[in-house]
Amino acid sequence: MVKIRLKWRGEVWETEAEPQECLHTVLERLQLPVGTEILTAKVGKTIHELSAPIDSHSNFELLGWESPEGKYVFWHSSAHILAEAILSFWPKAKLTIGPPIENGFYYDIDFEGNGPTPEDFPKIEKKFLELASQPEYFVRRRVSREEALAYYKDNPYKTELIYELEGEEIFFYESGNFVDLCRGPHLWHSGPIKAVKVLSLAGAYWRGDSQKPQLTRVYATSFPSPALLEEYLHQIEEAARRDHRLLGKQLDLFSFHEEGPGFPFWHPKGMRLLNTLQEWLRAKLLSHGYEEIKTPIILTQRLWEQSGHYENYRENMYFTQIDEEPYAVKPMNCPGSTIVYRTHIRSYRDLPLRLFEFGLVHRHELSGVLTGLFRVRAFTQDDAHIFCTPEQIQDEIASLLNLIEEVYAAFGFKEREIFLSTRPEKYIGSLSLWSQAEEALESALKTVGMSYQVNPGEGAFYGPKIDFVVRDSLRRRWQLGTIQLDFSMPQRFGLTYIGSDGQPHTPVMIHRAILGSFERFIGVLLEHTAGELPLWLAPIQVKVIPISEKLFDYAREVAAALREAAFRVEVDYTNEKLAKKIRLAEQEKVPIIWILGAREAETRSISIRDRRLRQQVQGVPLSEAIQTLKREALPPGLSEN
């Protein structure tokens, strides 16, 4: 017998079981909600299926829908049921792979002809629910390579996967009448799956290779209840309404054109937004002891060979020739920063040296992955590189953590997750230096009181890192900032500082970005706020609306006073009716509308329509309104003085 300990929602059960006894039988014996609320288990960092034997394990964390692992096995199992439902209507279709993804799952299928259309979604969903409700039990079976190849003799995709598993164990999962080549993990049975929605169809090349056959990717999602599905579908509708590409057009911020696919064209209002954001962050960085630099966009290919980018990243780089010598357009800013560092002999007294650059970089992305501002070929990183001694790492990281918190709070990102990624299998540098770096990162996180999750083995080859994920107003997750320790690049470029012992030493290089890139961050911010940007950041802060042509002169006077006070203002000189002018200004999501009538012109006042508070105040003296606006439009972290 094996003594086992089970943890479920803060409570603990201790019992005994036979090593070959499956976990679900133990849970049933304890009358725990197996197969309804409990979906899977975890041993350490590994998912342990409920249908798997206990073996020698002694500690199990039981997991439900609320956990990432619970969703993973839920959607992985759902992908199998989706494939089974589709095969019932298209029996000659050839299956490839069907993984879970962040908000559901998909299956890539070769239909060898006409496959499903959106009109077929309801019948697929109906069949899916029929299969899930039986329920279907997921049974894992080890098979020989020969048996697997024989079973899939008519499926070249599965055959290719089987050949790649040479020397590894091969497993089939059987559920109902369906069999699939799969490693798992899965639910015990399909009973918890109560709702499904087939979302869309897309083309996808086999293994992502454009030289290989094109498949049909069927996207879907599933939930433990129809109510959760309805909530998710509402979120999708809201996300579509907030699509930054639509808002960019509606607010006249940016556009994309066939003359430059993947290269954003910033319009005047977009530049006001971009410049305001950069000016605010620049002021904050300068106040935190940073120095700004700017490095060339095009640098010799030899530099990128020395940095390692040419070897590992050249497929994503653009190249050119100057004076018959090969050059590259920079995909990253780091090598340029090292050149600035080595222009002087540095002492330990000069460190830490904090250099930031709003650097324009170019990366070649496939046209199929370009997505508005989220995935572009040219973008500006809010990059910084901090050169410090090993002893300074912890203090610098702690300072960075506080700075990043300040920045995210300024934009209303109240929920965030932090991930500490440690030494991977392939790494450079000594184990002692890695241990010191990981301890410094972890200690800094603890010092500032930030909770975090450890991602073992997920660090970069040159050093451990901290990644920041925020949740927006729709609770979607966005990976923004990163802090990375780098021992490699200072060595590659021969960077040194003179230590207190009078000898040269190699500095540690901290790479960090807070927003990630200005383009992507603006896209995230537009969707987070539905385009209703805070007053200090709005491209047009005040829209002045004279109710008739007779008041245009007073409108010009008001606009001039606002511009003198450094506000971004626009006047509506059209002959439209007042109601339409107001409606158009609100569609442009201008925070403040000032309405001018004959009474306002006579008394040198204005009527204020505040979009943020959804209220209107009449007859406010112009000078008083401007002073109030000055207080309300202060960027976060700045006082009126």
Active site residues: 334, 363, 381, 383, 385, 465, 511
What is the 3-state secondary structure of 73-87?
A: HHHHHHHHHHHHHHH
Q: 3-class DSSP state for residue 56?
A: coil
Measured distance CA(135)–CA(440) in Å, rounded: 50
Instruction: Say what the alpha-carbon torsion angle 92, 95, 98, 103 is, to the nearest 10 degrees.
Output: -30
Q: 3-class DSSP state for residue 173?
A: strand
Question: Would you say 465 and 459 are in contact if contact means Cβ atoms under 8 Å apart?
Answer: yes
The contacts of residue 408 (CB under 8 Å, 6+ apart) are: 416, 468, 470, 480, 481
Question: Would you say 109 and 93 are in contact if contact means Cβ atoms under 8 Å apart?
Answer: yes
Which tokens sit at 613? 């508070």
Which tokens sit at 325? 């010598």
Question: Would you say 404 and 481 are in contact if contact means Cβ atoms under 8 Å apart?
Answer: yes
Instruction: Say what the alpha-carbon torsion angle 585, 589, 592, 597 is, to the nearest 10 degrees.
Output: 10
Q: Give which of 433, 487, 443 is closest to 466, Cα–Cα.
A: 443
Write the DSSP symbol of residue 456: T
Q: Give which of 248, 163, 249 is closest to 524, Cα–Cα.
A: 248
User: Which residue intervals of 411-517 are DSSP H helices?
Assistant: 431-447, 488-492
Phi, psi of 485 (to 5 degrees): -95, 135
Cis peptide before 185 (omega within 30 of 0): yes
Question: Would you say 106 and 95 are in contact if contact means Cβ atoms under 8 Å apart?
Answer: no
Question: Would you say 440 and 489 are in contact if contact means Cβ atoms under 8 Å apart?
Answer: no
CA angle in degrees (0–180, nearest 5) for 221-225-227: 95
Read off the amino acid at residue 629: L
Question: Would you say 357 and 384 are in contact if contact means Cβ atoms under 8 Å apart?
Answer: yes
Handedness of CA 185, 190, 192, 196 (dihedral sign): positive
Q: Is 313 exposed, middle or buried (0-12, 13-18, 19+ CB in 10 A)?
A: middle
Q: At what angle do helices 393-410 and 268-287 cross, to 10 degrees?
A: 140
Question: Would you say 75 and 220 are in contact if contact means Cβ atoms under 8 Å apart?
Answer: no
Q: Give which of 102, 114, 104, 98 is closest to 161, Cα–Cα.
A: 98
Q: Which helix or strand (DSSP H or E) is residue 379 part of? A: strand 378-388
